[in-house]
Structure 1
Amino acid sequence: MRPAAEQASDAALMSQRCDRSEPMTHAHPHPRRRLRAVACLLALSTVVAASQVLGEHTGAAAPTPEPDQRQAAAPPLTRDTFADPPNEVRPKYRWWQPLAFTDDRQLTAELEQLRQVGAGGAEVSLQRSNGPGHYEAEHLSTYGWGTPLWADKVETMLSAANANGLSLDLSIGPRWPATVPTVSDVNDPRAAQKLVFSHEFHPGGTTRSGPLPTNYDTAPPRGARMTLVAALVAKCEDPGCASQPSRRLLDRSSVVDVTARVDAGGELSLDLPGDADSTYALIAFYQTPNGHTLSGYTATVDNYSLDTLSEAGARASTDFYDDAILTPAVRSLLDEMGTAELFEDSLELGGQKWRTGFVDEWTTRRGYSPIDVLPALAGAGAQGGLPGRFPGEPFFDFAGGMGDRVRHDYRQTLSDLYIDNRLDVLRDWAHERDLKTRVQPYGEAIDSSEAAGHVDVPEGESLAFGRNDSAHSNVQNYKVVASGAHLSGAPVVSDECCAFRGHVWGATVGEATDRSNLQAVYRGYAGGVNQIVWHGFPYLSRGLAGHGEQTLWPGMSYGGNDSYSAAFGAKGDPSWADYRQVNDHLARMQLVLRQGKPAFDLAVYRHDLGLGLTGLTADTLIPSSSALAAAGYTYEYVSPAQLRDDDARVRDGVLFPDASAYHALLLNDQTTMPLDTAHSILRFVRRGLPVVILGDLPTTTPGYRPDQDVRLRAVIAELVRQPGVTRVDDESEVPGALERAGVAAAAAHATPSDAILDVRRRADGVDYYYLFNQHSTATSQTVTLAGQGTPYRLDTWTGEITPIADYREGPGTVTVPVRLAGHDAEVVAVTPRQDATFGGAAPRNQGPEASAAYSGPAPEPLRLTDWSLSVDSWTPGPSGLPGDTAHMAIGPVEVAATADGALPAWSELGPDLADVSGIGTYSAEFRLDAGWDGVTGARLDLGTVVDTVRVSVNGRELPPVDQMDLRHIDIGDRLRPGVNTITVRVASTLLNAVRIAPGVDTGDRDRMRYGLLGPVTIEPYAATAPVLTLEAQQRSLPVADGGYNEAELLVTNASDRPVSATLTATGADGIAATAAAATSIPAGGSVTVPVAVRNTGLASGTSTLAVTARAGNGLEATENLTLTHSANLALNAQLTRFPRILPETTTAQDRFPEHLAVDGSTASYYASWGKTAGLGPTEANPSTFGLDFGAPVTFSSVTVAGRADGATHLGPRDYTIDVSDDGVSWRTVAVPDHPAAGGTTSFAPVTARYLRLRITDTWDPIRPARNVQISELTVAR
């Protein structure tokens, strides 16, 4: 029998579930909620008895989804399915079409193209067609969305998709937000609604009469009916409130509802209380149509965006589909397909959301009427006053945090209504019609984690989750969405990828940059994604030339020729043919990432209604650079709704044991918490779940139930007394707390490093690991993976599965070396299985043997400097129409490398190639000397290439190469004595040709550098004689004038005996470089050796550092690095070893990481943690931004540029500049006094290894400050 205290906790929990700050009484409750409502009728004694019988949970078990309610699980991974993945795990393409103004033969041909390129399906997405009269009703009545012709097109596409084994997904409307032709009246009740307010101020003791005020905060749409929700009178806390520029505090106890006194003509007469020294506000709230419209897609004008909070809004879409699109033929084809999805894009509708009956819904769900607290919503904005989202500063408010509580209840009600009346309704309807739902559940103030559990395929996107709309996406945002899928049993998490602003026609596959396609895909995978939908594939549009970008070469793109990437397809993409290899590679990764179930080390509690979109600074997420990531812990986020779910139980110390299997729970500086959630966590702890509390304890409940605060604090006090609870003050202490609690990292890094992010899945006796290097430079680490048996490397580029020889076994673990290029990823499996898929373990390394010397010539690496280049140039054809591409042969052209081995780009080879796009073929001949006679394996290093690559050696094409790692192309034993030939085929993007195409406007976009840019070397890695290789992990290293850095060189000993190696380095005048003493390299192993570099005079340009490794057996290897020089000691755009950010730097928001303050660009910026007023730096709780220069350096000025947001500056205001020799004892060298834009502070030269800014206030206009934001930090001699 369980202890009485635990039984009491269960009884209290059930009581809270029936009377909570987040009531779950819904108009259309989720099945789990229906069962929960029944459970609330049981006596608590029955609850306790039931819990004893069940041993786990007091509520009813969640119903098992019917087979047709979820996509089928992925096919099992075998050697056959890994070599040739089935279509259901292959990437999809967003397929842009000009409405029904298409040709059936072209539609069929384009689906065949997608099959040939390795796609698994297409998502139909519409754009308006270009041409005379195409926006007019006459044209749209035939070709518009939802017309009979459109239904015919859907039938044609479904038939062709089925014939090609593809899936075909349909969008819920012609664009987003969703619209239908049947809602074209502004006052249609199915249209989206909003809440507006008007106001006036009066002295106390006066009388007012006449119409209600009409100074609405947002203008109602023309012709819209306005429905009075409430008229309120309230006393201002400050008599001068009428002239206050920001939120005006009202006396909550003074609020009087005078709605009933408004006459039929909308006039109100009343006598105001008080005297002339007081001020009263009259506030009128109205429901009115939102007024957002869409035109140019249907013959009806205008079509109004649908209500996302009411069932009527959802039914408007489903009814139209039933009536106009889902013909019997279409229904039959959908049934045959069985995998089609109904897609809805992110919620991007402005205005303060409302709906008919909102007051009643609020009253039912929250337990009180919102009427007399509506002033807290006045001007709260599209996100309902969600702190840190813009706009959202309330016009009125209540003191003591009361307004925040009311706005939370508003957002929670929005979230509930969206889930119940839209997501659930759409999913139920879709399942009845052989469809699944795929939805991007974010953009409004909703619980994205919970919402993701109410769709078949939740989806994120690289654009909205980006640091900005032209840079990489935030891994953490994907985790929020993915958790809903994982806990609800949905096997697929999708990603709309990879839209980068201003990058159309210029999207690259590789390059270790923030805007390459593969790095964006890999970030999504690291966050839980296992389906990619490429953005996008444009239809080969037709029409008269010259009528918009759709009718000019190269053809349709999204938003024009200077807009968002990409525009895939043979009609406009020289690299299109290479995407077969890319898609095969991604399909293999997605096959792995759908095996079994995900497994996590811990869950992070997150209660935040609203997942931020592009550029917003309101993250409540743990940075991907955190100590948790550096230690190798896997985690995702859970919300209160998920913790109150019937599956939220603990078995053997594991939370959600049948789903994500969290071994611990982290409360991340959580100051608010629903009471029932606190009871749940207490119950989890008592059943063996470790809990780590970082920072402050929850002290208040989030909604307008302040009476629950005392009860919450009592539960939290009981929680922290439990032996399974650990409190820490700093995020860096969390890994240690987890280790002490017995929770080990699933992918433990031998040396803490945040470079590698890990995903783990378990299926059929196999632990699968996805490992992603989130840094732009290479990393070499030793990682200990949870699992038993033999480790295998699953080569997702070639489809090969090979055992890893270099590993060590431990108790329930396997330790393997991991080497990844910048932004690259790989898959490792650990299993004891010996079968047709996993078997034939490689010989184990048996450890070092006695050292011995070798004689005979050693093979020397070769640098290939002379090439012949021929280019197939792509240009507009004679008609200038889309798809009419002319090809012109240019060359051969002789290409020679510079002294450092670099090769010129096409645009640097003369006027004939200045603006050429297309496919270039490079060839080089070389002779192998006698030292290569015994070589049995060699590696080709291409250096930098733009864009895709195929390689042939002596006429034989290599298997697909890793496009993110062109430095380690295995050419095996394909070399032969004497003369050899290597051919490198490079496909460019189309941008350079588009830039100069007639009639095409690409703005001021720069010319791209295409081609094989080198340096190109061939290096042996296996031979009958031993081989020593040397590889710089960062080929480019910043070393400022007077600065210090450390190069990291990977030394590999390809022999069967250990060797001792010594490194030496030589640089230009002013560069001093030293390496560590002799280093022992095990047989067949590698060791990373640092080389210290000092710069004593080079303030600009570049220089070369030559490094040589010499082994005791006479072997040598060399490597050259490029050193970049500046006068800025803080500059480190490449994220090399130094200067590095101090760990004690105030935690950054994940979209605005610390290194953006030292990347050399004022367009990017670092933002510290904090989204609400008061979380920014203060004297009592300062923020810090610090640097470790790696060694003592001398400097005399520091420039700090705060981030500018228009005329608003958000940088440091009050701060000191401190230095330290040891990072512990600090001394202040300056106290700056600069305007909001920042400035330079000069002082007497100081010599120190460490520098920090100690910030106590910022220029944030919201007071007290939310955070500090720094666009650039410069340190100079």
Structure 2
Amino acid sequence: MLSKSRFLLLLFPILLFFGFQLIEQKSPVSSDWPEITQTAKPWTRWWWMGNAVDEKNLSKLLETYNEAGLGGVEIAPIYGAKGYEDRYIDFLSEDWLSMLDFTVTKAHSLGMGVDMTQGTGWPYGGPQVSVENAATRMVIQDYEKVDGQPLSTPITFQKKRENQYDAELVAVMAYDKNLNSKDITSYVNASGQLDWNEAGAWHIKAIFLDKTGQMVKRAAPGGVGFTLDHFSKPAVDSYNSYFEKAFAGKNYGFRSFYNDSFEVYGADYTGNLFEEFQKLRGYDLKEFLPYLESEKNTELVRRVKSDYRETINDLLLNNFTKNWTDWAHEQSKLTKNQAHGSPGNLLDLYAAVDIPECETFGSSYFPIPGLRRDSADIRNVDPDPIMLKFASSAAHLTGKNLVSSETFTWLGEHFKSSFSQMKPEVEQAFLAGVNHIFYHGVTYSPEDVSYPGWLFYASLNLTQQNSLWPHFKGFNDYIARSQAILQAGQADNELLVYWPVYDVWAEPKGKMEMITVHAVDEWLHPTEFYKQSKSLMEAGYSLDFISDEMIANSSVKDGHIQTSPTNSAKVLLIPETEFMPLETLKDILKLAESGAKVIFQSKPKSIPGYHSDQKSKQAEFDALWASIAFQDGKVNFGKGQVILNRDSRAALESLKINREKLVDSGLDFIRRKVADGTYYFLVNHSANTISQSISLNAKAGTVMIMDPLTGKTGTLPTTYNSENTTVSIYLKSGESIFLKTFEDKVNLAIPAWPDYSQSSKSTDISNNWKLTFTQGQPKLPAAQTMETIEPWTSTSDAEADDFSGQASYTSEFEFKKVEGKQYLLTIDKVYESAKIWINGEYAGNIWSIPYQLDVSEQLKNGKNSIKIEVANLMANSIRYLDRNGIEWRNYHEINFVNIDYKPFDASNWKTMPSGLEGKIQILEFD
């Protein structure tokens, strides 16, 4: 019999084990805002113009960026400003590497991060790229051979320009009237004469390996040269080794190498393409060149083009993207890559790097009342947030936490973009899964360069000389608080939607299929994949896109599809698909056998590509499909279930996969799962105030509300059952908020969130103000007094009309403050950002619609003072410079262009309203 002490000794490890298990299952709850890390803060692309940098300015600028709330910089060397050539530093020279070293050391001392473009300008290339390793294209010259007559024209490369390199003859193919082919390369002598005279009329195609001749765009000193052949492993290896040698084994401490969107124009070939094609696709592409060149919508044309494009994808993915990432890891670096614009499978290309990066390009329409959107100041593009989900899906499915975005590229015309316009655009990116914002961007501009400093032609121009810069931290803090949550835990998306890339690759038009941001109307919008994804998201479902390879790499755990150790989903949806590989169908059914739930909209019609045994392979595919014994459109398949239903929503409802009904109110959302609950990001981009009870699918005994604008938190009353939670939400148009749900009732020791839905009293303080100009360009106008507050551009003061900078409105007012009440300061219109002080105490920053701020803590009973510092846009001072012929843009290469890529001229601009307009009120709430 065991003694009591012996029994306790044996019992203790068991109790300890179960105690640890309990700790793992019930993580402690937290009402704290997640830590604002380096990556939670927004980063920026940092253009080094002419590499004309020095330690003094690097140090000062990094300190300035840090104070403004930036978390890191991405060094992007580009062309330089004229007149400063004596300051230029050649890329990767000893002096340049010294500047890199200094930059990284200084940034790290400030807690900032550094990335760098692996080259200058874009795309990858430079003086180290030999002609042999330069971007390559296939040129096909056609000849007609008449029966019985020798070919009179020698088969030699026909140059289109004088300085074009001689192209290499790869092969010569002859085709009869039925397109049967013969390889007659060996019959062509060194001078191009064809010694071949087989009977019949023949169409002859001579295939040449030519160089595109494309040079690096916007190259910096030391970076001019040919664009790289991304499809060639030797070329990529050579390119990487150049950097490895330049770094000479020294770890400069930056985080990652960056690669911009694929803009390698005309590159559709590499030296061993035909050999790789034969190995990967099983037949000789040269025999099918007439089909590759044809644009007829025939089956064989589509199948050959699909095979060609898949091969190009394989070369890009394996020889460049994966190869580059493997090499970077050997250098202890990460990779950050924009896959869009390339001819490959975006999902697999994004998944092959450490930080997938998408981009926002142009200006989206939001029906938010008062949000400025002048058609003359925006590009003629219509950004689609679904495009952003290719990058976030790849990250989610492969367990990568960060999804970056090149943000605000050509959001609006230079000097006219405001924080209020930027907020919904960045929120749209957040809703698509982006959580690591990079501004496009900030230009290095030294202290001795006069206003407006050095500027990049396609930039938002957020430099230290921008009149909005002193207010920039308020916007950055909003992004940092948001990203701190959006980088926490894991994505919480219940659906996987298959992207049928083979349908895209089977497009009969053209040779390459460049999957670009600007051509979504061609390759994305007409597809059922897009229509289903958009419809399901609008209905309240959360989803990610999945590729063939990702399906092959997935497994099933507890009935959920596990795409990585940290990501799972409830259902795999196959939209209407024309082409699907046999192996993909096998992989899908294998998942179903293991317990997955799969929904097909319809039977995939065919296997992709051309096969010598096409009929037997298609028969195998059809037989496999026929083995799914549907009854009334569904079947239990192994441990799982397969459903055939054109109505995806009905199929999901039959599986009890619930949508988030909160979207019916007009809200948009995204979720993140964390150890102690679920985060909801709720955004009101509708035209109306949303004031109603909404349902959350997460079961919650307690709900915390978190305002990313101010960092304030509070609790919301809840009611819940076994399936969902109900809370009351009040969000004006343009507002956004985070909710955090806790499964059980917990005491968070934070106050209840004020109810701002109905004010009990208002106090108008719009009268008797003084306006003082404090800092800006071209000079400070005289102070003004205002009986009723108004913009300083409405006072018939020419100097005020030309002014860009900061000015302070000040006033005093009597106020009766009641303890226990909440007070909201509201301003009808702010042009463009306002910092508020009440009774000398800083209350906060107003820069987004609706223009409001809780000032309960700063108000007092009796006489109060108020100061509102307003920062306006640069537009008015830039107009002044152009009207007065003051030269400020003088750059090599592209100089400076407007939003339509025409010469920039602001002299005819109208005055942009600046200051405050309308009523200023203090609203009281119970």
Q: Answer yes or no: is 1:226 the counterpart of 2:135.
A: no
Match of 2:773 among 858, 872, 888: 872
Q: Answer yes or no: is 1:362 the counterpart of 2:277.
A: yes
Q: CA deviation at 1:89?
A: 2.1
| Change in 2 beyond 3 A, CA 1:801/1:976 | closer
Q: In structure 1, how many angstroms separate the alpha carbons of the residues matched to 2:405 and 2:837?
A: 34
Residues 151, 327 of structure 1: 8 Å contact kept: no
Q: In structure 1, how many angstroms separate the alpha carbons of the residues matched to 2:551 and 2:851?
A: 47
Match of 1:664 among 571, 581, 596: 571
Q: Answer yes or no: is 1:264 the counterpart of 2:190.
A: yes
Q: In structure 2, how many angstroms separate the alpha carbons of the residues matched to 1:206 and 1:126?
A: 58
Residues 399, 564 of structure 2: 8 Å contact kept: no
Question: Per-residue CA shift, 1:66-102, capped at 9, x if unaligned?
Answer: xxxxxxxxxx9966663x6122321111111123322
Q: CA deviation at 1:976?
A: 4.6
Residues 496, 546 of structure 2: 8 Å contact kept: yes
RMSD, matched Cα: 3.3
Q: Give the residue type in structure 1 aligned to 2:399.
A: G
The corresponding residue for 1:815 is 726
Q: In structure 1, how many angstroms separate the alpha carbons of the residues matched to 2:380 and 2:865?
A: 40
Q: CA deviation at 1:762?
A: 1.2
Q: Answer yes or no: is 1:914 the counterpart of 2:801.
A: yes
Q: CA deviation at 1:172?
A: 0.5
Residues 926, 981 of structure 1: 8 Å contact kept: yes
Q: How does 1:629-668 map to 2 (within 5 A)?
A: 629-645=537-553, 647-649=554-556, 651-656=558-563, 658-668=565-575
The corresponding residue for 2:118 is 172
Q: Give the residue type in structure 1 aligned to 2:619.
A: V
Greater relative CO (CA pairs within 8 A, separation 6+): 2
Q: CA deviation at 1:203?
A: 6.2
| Change in 2 beyond 3 A, CA 1:587/1:990 | same
Residues 476, 623 of structure 1: 8 Å contact kept: no
Q: CA deviation at 1:437?
A: 0.8
Query: What secondary structure sits across from 2:911 in the alignment?
Result: coil
Q: In structure 2, how many angstroms separate the alpha carbons of the residues matched to 1:496 and 1:425?
A: 24
Q: In structure 1, how many angstroms separate the alpha carbons of the residues matched to 2:90 and 2:917?
A: 48
Q: CA deviation at 1:375?
A: 2.6
| Change in 2 beyond 3 A, CA 1:679/1:498 | same
Q: Give the residue type in structure 1 aligned to 2:343.
A: A
Q: Give the residue type in structure 2 aligned to 1:994.
A: I
Identity of matched residues, %: 22
Normalized against structure 2, the TM-score is what?
Answer: 0.83
Q: Answer yes or no: is 1:1011 the counterpart of 2:915.
A: yes
| Change in 2 beyond 3 A, CA 1:112/1:542 | closer
Q: Answer yes or no: is 1:966 the counterpart of 2:845.
A: no
Q: CA deviation at 1:889?
A: 4.8
Match of 1:493 among 394, 400, 403: 403
Residues 844, 853 of structure 2: 8 Å contact kept: no
The corresponding residue for 1:583 is 476
Question: Per-residue CA shift, 1:864-915, capped at 9, x if unaligned?
Answer: 4425252436555xxxxxxxxx652532241637xxxxx5562564323222
Q: In structure 2, how many angstroms separate the alpha carbons of the residues matched to 1:397 and 1:624?
A: 28
Q: CA deviation at 1:616?
A: 4.5
| Change in 2 beyond 3 A, CA 1:397/1:583 | closer
Q: CA deviation at 1:474?
A: 2.3
Match of 1:735 among 649, 659, 671: 649
Q: CA deviation at 1:534?
A: 1.1
Q: In structure 2, how many angstroms separate the alpha carbons of the residues matched to 1:502 and 1:273?
A: 64
Q: How does 1:859-938 map to 2 (within 5 A)?
A: 859-872=760-773, 888-894=780-786, 896=788, 903-904=790-791, 906-907=793-794, 909-927=796-814, 936-938=821-823
Q: CA deviation at 1:580?
A: 1.8
Question: Per-residue CA shift, 1:1078-1129, capped at 9, x if unaligned?
Answer: xxxxxxxxxxxxxxxxxxxxxxxxxxxxxxxxxxxxxxxxxxxxxxxxxxxx
| Change in 2 beyond 3 A, CA 1:649/1:120 | same
Residues 666, 692 of structure 1: 8 Å contact kept: yes
Q: In structure 2, how many angstroms separate the alpha carbons of the residues matched to 1:865 and 1:760?
A: 41
Q: Answer yes or no: is 1:529 the counterpart of 2:431.
A: no
Q: CA deviation at 1:302?
A: 5.4
| Change in 2 beyond 3 A, CA 1:698/1:615 | closer
| Change in 2 beyond 3 A, CA 1:77/1:377 | farther
Richer in helix (by share): 2
Q: CA deviation at 1:918?
A: 1.2
Question: Per-residue CA shift, 1:189-234, capped at 9, x if unaligned?
Answer: 2211111112234667765343127567xx4783523122332233
Count of aligned pairs: 837
Q: In structure 2, how many angstroms separate the alpha carbons of the residues matched to 1:506 and 1:871?
A: 23
Query: What secondary structure sits across from 1:938 in the alignment?
Result: strand
Gaps of 5+ in 2: 1-27, 366-377, 506-513, 636-640, 890-903
Q: In structure 2, how many angstroms separate the alpha carbons of the residues matched to 1:542 and 1:979?
A: 43
Q: In structure 1, how many angstroms separate the alpha carbons of the residues matched to 2:329 and 2:786?
A: 61
Q: Give the residue type in structure 1 aligned to 2:653.
A: E
Match of 1:989 among 848, 870, 873: 873
Question: Per-residue CA shift, 1:136-182, capped at 9, x if unaligned?
Answer: xxx69x72212121111111111211211111111100111112322
Match of 2:331 among 433, 442, 445: 433
Q: In structure 2, how many angstroms separate the alpha carbons of the residues matched to 1:823 and 1:283?
A: 60
Q: CA deviation at 1:941?
A: 2.3
Match of 2:136 among 173, 189, 193: 193
| Change in 2 beyond 3 A, CA 1:274/1:181 | closer
Question: Per-residue CA shift, 1:795-854, capped at 9, x if unaligned?
Answer: 22233332222x22121422223444445432211124788xx72477799xxxxxxxxx
Gaps of 5+ in 1: 1-75, 237-250, 379-395, 511-515, 544-550, 846-857, 877-885, 898-902, 1023-1277
Q: Give the residue type in structure 2 aligned to 1:682.
A: L
The corresponding residue for 1:592 is 485
Match of 2:261 among 340, 346, 349: 346
Query: What secondary structure sits across from 2:419 in the alignment?
Result: coil
Q: CA deviation at 1:470?
A: 6.3
Q: Give the residue type in structure 2 aligned to 1:715.
A: L
Question: Per-residue CA shift, 1:1233-1269, capped at 9, x if unaligned?
Answer: xxxxxxxxxxxxxxxxxxxxxxxxxxxxxxxxxxxxx
Residues 470, 500 of structure 1: 8 Å contact kept: no
Question: Per-residue CA shift, 1:9-64, capped at 9, x if unaligned?
Answer: xxxxxxxxxxxxxxxxxxxxxxxxxxxxxxxxxxxxxxxxxxxxxxxxxxxxxxxx
The corresponding residue for 1:1156 is none
Question: Per-residue CA shift, 1:420-453, capped at 9, x if unaligned?
Answer: 1112222222222221111111211111111111
Q: Answer yes or no: is 1:540 the counterpart of 2:445.
A: yes
Match of 1:456 among 327, 330, 354: 354
The corresponding residue for 2:104 is 158
The corresponding residue for 2:155 is 212
Query: What secondary structure sits across from 1:208 in the alignment?
Result: coil
Q: Give the residue type in structure 2 aligned to 1:165.
A: G
Q: In structure 1, how many angstroms separate the alpha carbons of the residues matched to 2:547 and 2:135?
A: 27
The corresponding residue for 1:947 is 832
| Change in 2 beyond 3 A, CA 1:985/1:553 | closer
* Worse-superposed segment, 992-1001 or 613-622: 613-622
| Change in 2 beyond 3 A, CA 1:1015/1:636 | farther
Residues 759, 769 of structure 1: 8 Å contact kept: yes
Q: Answer yes or no: is 1:826 the counterpart of 2:737.
A: yes
Q: In structure 1, how many angstroms separate the alpha carbons of the residues matched to 2:380 and 2:876?
A: 19
| Change in 2 beyond 3 A, CA 1:802/1:300 | closer
Q: CA deviation at 1:554?
A: 0.6
Residues 126, 223 of structure 2: 8 Å contact kept: no
Q: In structure 1, how many angstroms separate the alpha carbons of the residues matched to 2:398 and 2:487?
A: 15
| Change in 2 beyond 3 A, CA 1:422/1:678 | same
Q: CA deviation at 1:774?
A: 4.1
The corresponding residue for 2:369 is none
Q: In structure 1, how many angstroms separate the alpha carbons of the residues matched to 2:543 and 2:625?
A: 23
The corresponding residue for 1:143 is 89
Q: Give the residue type in structure 2 aligned to 1:499.
A: T
Q: Answer yes or no: is 1:371 the counterpart of 2:286.
A: yes
| Change in 2 beyond 3 A, CA 1:676/1:466 | farther
Residues 262, 340 of structure 2: 8 Å contact kept: yes
